[in-house]
Amino acid sequence: MKKILTLLLTVILGVACCFGFAGCGENATVKIGSQSGTTGAMYADCLKGCEVSYYDTFALAAQDLKNGKVEYVVVDGATAQSLKNDISGLKVIDIELSSEYYGIAVDKAQPELLSSINTILESKKAEIDAIIEKYMNDDEENFVPVASAVKDESKAATQLVVATNAEFPPFESISGDKYVGIDIEIAKIIADELGLELVIDNMQFDAVVQSIGTHSVDIGMSGLTITAERKKSVNFANPYYIESQYILTLESNTKLDDCMTVIDVLNVLTANK
């Protein structure tokens, strides 16, 4: 018994040591980070021979990019710029990986809400374009922080509950005890037009589509790309923004500097396989 136990322990420790050395060695695969549930993560997922790390927020992914844990982050263009401005030493590779439309996700059980949102998007187009313009120019003076009312089930008929993941500047982020961003200001316009009280329900990004699907919120605005898979769970209003996926990397990383097209980028990223 004693001998068996000693042997077992030695084997476990031996393997643990080997494992330890393996962990220190440089890994040949390209490491890509993204936020789980986003289009960027799905894009990275399709790259052969790359190891994808799924973060809770893009900001954490960018932090790990800076710390050298991942080499590239696949992220929506506007957010890539915003991260580059906030965290020093990062650069955005100026090649569009894929194009997509952002839309407002609406509860499938409320078709009349969908049509009224589409009407508002049509009639307030100038205002919405001005909002997008001011955030894209980083015109911080004119940002309007929006306060959220408290969610109250008994007042469901007079409240517009918007699901968002407020960690996605410039579309939505937290500013003190209020919320700020393109989606937030558009949500305010919609709520005002409908004569409802605006409730912002801040949650994990993966939970946004899920909670609209289970009817616990009315709409979702979180820089949501319109995809076929999401359309099965929610309805989408007409798109309000065209976005692309970009690659964020360290300024010192020159591997992608000579790339001219998406094909070049993909060749570099999947060179190992």
Partner 1 sequence: MINWAEEWSSFYKQFVTLGGYKRLFDGLIATVEIAVFGLAIGIIIGILIAIVAVMPRYKLLPKILDKICKVYVAIFRGTPMVVQLLVGHYLLLPLLGVNVSGVFEAVIIFGLNSGAYVSEIMRSGIQSVDAGQLEAGRALGLSFWSAMGKIVIPQSIKNILPTLGNEFISLIKETSVVSFIAITDLTKALKLIGDATYHYFMPYIMLALIYLVIVLLITWGIKVMERRLARSDRK
- Interface residues with partner 1 (CB under 8 A) are 1, 9, 12-13, 15-16, 19-20, 22-24, 27, 33, 36-37, 42, 53-56, 60-61, 63-64, 66-69, 206, 209-210, 213, 229-230, 232-233
Torsion sign, CA atoms 262, 268, 271, 273: negative
As measured in angstroms, the least distance from the Cβ of 213 to partner 1 is 6
Residue 191 Cβ, how far from partner 1 at the closest point, in Å?
25
Measured distance CA(127)–CA(106) in Å, rounded: 21
Mapped onto helix, strand or coil, the DSSP state of residue 244 is strand
Smallest separation (angstroms) from partner 1 to the CB of 60: 7
Cβ distance to partner 1 smaller for residue 24 or 157: 24
Min CB(132)–partner 1 separation in Å? 27
Residue 211, CB half-sphere, CA atoms under 13 Å: how many? 20
**192 versus 206: smaller Cβ distance to partner 1:** 206
> Would you say 42 or 162 has its CB closer to partner 1?
42
**CA 121/CA 190 separation, integer angstroms:** 8
Residue closer to partner 1, measured from CB, 51 or 193: 51
Residue 105 phi, psi (nearest 5) = -85, 135
Sheet holding 235-236, edge to edge: 197-202, 159-164, 219-220, 105-106, 235-236
Which lies closer to partner 1 via its Cβ, residue 5 or residue 260? 5
Integer angstrom CA distances of residue 268 from 47, 109, 184, 234? 11, 46, 38, 37
Shortest Å, Cβ 126 to partner 1? 34
